[in-house]
Amino acid sequence: MNIHDLIQALPELRTSTAETLCSDIATAIRTEELDLALIPKSNADTTNANQEFDYFDANGHRVFFRKGFSAAMELRRLFVQRVIFAGAAPSRGMCTVEALEALNQADVCLHDVLFDDTILNELPEDATVIHVGKRCGAHAIRQPEINQLLLDYARQGKRVVRLKAGDPGIFGRLCEETDTLSAHELPFKVQAAVSSLSVATTATGILLTRRGSHRGFTVMTPRCAGGETRSFDPTARDMPVILFMASHIVRQSLEDLNQHGIATDTPAAIIYDAGCPQQSIVCGTVATLADIVEQMPPRTGLLYVGHGADTHWPNWRDSENLQPEDFSQAIAAIKQQLPTKEACLA
């Protein structure tokens, strides 16, 4: 079908904002032929199309498009919801407010083995709840299947919460799932959470730091991918180093690390005002970060040195909170990526 027909079918799939959006797109790109199809969801079969096509759902219809067609992925982001990665914490009382709010609004929850199952009572009664946890080698569902569930529910426009046990970013196989969503340009948000690391130390008095005694700690696992165990070196150079209270002595800190064997081309970053509205991240390397930071006003931040310092989450926006200018930008991006009519007919 041509794009004009598709766009004409979309206004009823969103609110009045979508009517303006779809009208603008139809006017801007008119009748170029594209690899798109709009099919009633009841007749849509994705089992034979997954290898070649991607899709998203909207109000009873499934919109198929050829994989890699970035203009269609831009369009999809106006209709899908962000997948929320949240942490359950060891007890409901330790859960963050934003985690509870995400659960309250969820259509689907994929959860790990939890310390306190009562947190699932925060879900709506009609929510789909799927146990996908694994412990000591016992898997309820294999990781590739979890990734596929995230994709399928996200493309259906569902509000999906992926509920981890503890902080999602600590030994939670988080990147395998976010990488899957990123590969399909599906939006997500990762929430920080209370880790068992803090509960087992701060809450018990077995403190990770103590003035005059120990000014740091090492956190790692003896397990490797696949579950096997190996000997490990707590001073290994392949682990990130995180320094508190170093944002005002960045150059000295990086020079010290370099003298102790950390290469000058190692990625480094400072996260300023983490978790606050004014949060910002400045990236560089052991050799360059100090020069960058010294050109900026002094601020409080956390210094991260090692692999991962040069990657961070994209700043996805909720489709429900998009403003008219966001739609205009999406339209402009779609227009730029459309093939010419001559190319389509060739």
C-alpha–C-alpha distance, residues 91 and 86, integer Å: 14
Read off the tokens for 138: 């016992």
Alpha helices in 246-310 (DSSP H): 250-259, 289-293
Q: Of 54, 57, 112, 167, which is the active-site residue?
A: 112
DSSP E strand boundaries for the chain: 36-40, 53-58, 61-66, 83-87, 108-111, 128-131, 134-135, 138-139, 160-164, 188-190, 241-243, 267-272, 280-285, 301-305
Residue 68 has phi, psi (to 5 degrees) of 90, -5
* Polymer length in residues for the chain: 346
Residue 290 has phi, psi (to 5 degrees) of -60, -40
134 tagged catalytic: yes
In this structure, what DSSP letter does residue 134 have? E
Q: Of 134, 152, 310, 341, which is the active-site residue?
A: 134
Whose tokens are 């799939």? That residue is 13
Please give the positions annotated as active site: 112, 134
